[in-house]
Amino acid sequence: MNNRLVGGLACSSVGLLLYIVGIATTAWLSAGNVESGLWQSCTKGAIRICASWDIDSLNGAYHASRFFSVVGALLAVVGIIAGVVHAIKHNLFTRVNKKRTAGGLIIVAGVCGLITAAIFTGYYENNSIGSVPYGYSFYLTWIQGLFTIGGGVACFIA
């Protein structure tokens, strides 16, 4: 078994975990007692109250961010599965190079995550007065790019 492939899949799996936590949690923006994310907004207090976004009330930046976040997560899952299948059964499919396919899917998934965060950043940096109170979910989505793209490159060149 190729150590670079295993390391790339492990790194990509960490990136996928960061990616899923980043896009699923509500702390993209965090100001005082209010957090909002791609899918809902929550008010913190004695009781945490969350409300899902009305899809008709969202602007294009939210729609694009949500689209790229879902596509990226799906590509990462498919890429990691393809890499694991290749790592387990590499002797049976010697003519088909699934490492490059898996690596390419994982790299594109990481780029989709970075596009998600970039669209979100661009919208709030251009449409807010003062500094934007980004939360941990936002930063996790940026950090996943390092792990996901790095792991995808390792799988690709394995």
Q: What is the pLDDT of residue 72?
A: 95
Residue 131 confidence (pLDDT): 80
**pLDDT for residue 96:** 55
What is the token pair recorded at 158?
Answer: 């394995």
Kindly report the average pLDDT of the chain as a whole number.
Answer: 88
CB atoms within 10 A of CB 28: 29
The list of the chain residues with pLDDT below 50 reads: none
Whole-prediction pTM: 0.86
pLDDT score, position 46: 87
> Could you give the CA distance from residue 148 to residue 137 in angstroms, rounded to a whole number?
16
Q: Which CATH architecture has domain 3-28+58-157?
A: Up-down Bundle (1.20)
Q: What is the domain partition of the chain in residue ranges?
A: 3-28+58-157
In this structure, the chain runs to a length of 158
Distance separating alpha carbons of residues 27 and 36, to the nearest angstrom: 6
**Model pLDDT, residue 95:** 52
